[in-house]
Amino acid sequence: MPMPVYTLHINGETRTAEVPGGTSLLWVIREHLGLMGTKYGCGIAQCGACTLHVDGDPVRACVLSVEQASKGQKIVTIEGLSTDGRHPVQKAWIEAQAPQCGYCQSGQIMQAVALLQTTPHPTRDEIKRYMNGNLCRCGTYLRILEAIEIASGRMDTQSGSS
């Protein structure tokens, strides 16, 4: 049985994937396209480890099917956020020494970038509310908060992610 071919616009490139319809976008970008920065954590949009941007909005890739994501939208993953890991949010993350095990951090960073793109100077409560869907078992939340506050206001001069 021939499988359908889906076309995805990811990180400025056009990629195709031959997978059964209904396959989660997460498996497609990880196991088919090899973009491993986006992580699998729960598969039911509860942890946020697979957060990426679809037309600038933070989305949980695990609950998006490949066909939903191949309608011409622009997808950006952690690998597409900057060419050299020097996005202001990434730099702030290093400054705050935020990650521990690091597994959830791609998703945290993608969620934080989306926040700062729409709200460049969020309050602490706004940050907490916006980041509430991203779990971190190592308990790095306080440093994530600090990193977002460091990055807040530094976004104006950078090129943006999507």
Partner 1 sequence: MKPLQKPLARRQFLKTSGGVALFIGVSGILPQLWSCSDKRAVEKEVLKHRLTAWVQLTGDGRVIIYNPAAEMGQGSMTSLPVIFAEEMDADWDRVEVVFSPQVATIYGSDGWSTERKVMLSAGSRITSGYFNSMRKAGAQARYIMRHSAATHWDVPLSEVTTAPGRVLHPQSGRSLSFAQMVPLLQLPEALPEVADSDLKSPEDFRLIGKVVPRTDIPSKVDGSARFAIDLQLPGMRYAVLERGAMHGASPTLENREAILAMEGVLKVVLLEHAVGVLATRLEQALEAKKAMKISWAPSMANGFNSQDTFKEYEVMAGNPQAGRVLVETGNFKAAMGSAAKTYSADFLNDYVYHAQMEPLNAVVQVAEDLLSARVWVGSQQGFDEKLGVPQLLGIAPENVTIELQYLGGGFGRRSMTDFVTECAGMAREVPGTPVKLLWTREDDIRYGAFRPLSLQRLQACTDTHGKLTGFSHCIVGDGGNLVASGIRNEHYDIPNQFAEWREATHGIRLKHWRSVGHGPNKFAIECMIDEIAAGEGRDPVDFRRQLMAISPRALATLEKAAEMARWGGAVPDGRARGVAFLERSGTLSTGICEISVDRASGLIRVHRFWNALDAGIVVQPDNVKAQMEGGILMGISSVLKEQVTIEGGKVQQSNFNDYPILRMQEVPESVETALIASGEPPQGVGESGTPLVAGAIANAFFSLTGKRLRHLPFTPARVLEALKS
Q: Does residue 1 touch partner 1 according to CB under 8 A?
A: yes
Binding letters toward partner 1, positions 40-79, x by CB under 8 A: xxxxx-xx-x---------------------------xxx
Helices (H), the chain: 25-27, 88-95, 105-118, 124-130, 141-151
Instruction: Provide the minimum distance between the beta carbon of 56 and partner 1 in the complex, in angstroms, as a whole number.
Output: 18
**CA triplet 157, 78, 153: central angle to 5 degrees?**
25
What tokens does 31 get? 């196991």
DSSP secondary structure string, 13-45? EEEEEE--TT-BHHHIIIIIT--TTS--S-SSS
Residues 6+ positions from 152 with CB-CB distance below 8 Å = 116, 120, 121, 122
Among 4, 85, 120, 160, binds partner 1 (CB under 8 A): 85
Of 53-61, 68-76, 123-131, 152-160: span binding partner 1 (CB under 8 A)? 123-131
Told to check if 162 binds partner 1 by CB under 8 A, we report: no
Binding residues for partner 1 (CB under 8 A): 1, 19-20, 23-24, 27, 30-32, 34-44, 46-47, 49, 77-79, 81-82, 84-85, 90, 93-94, 97-106, 109, 127-129, 131-145
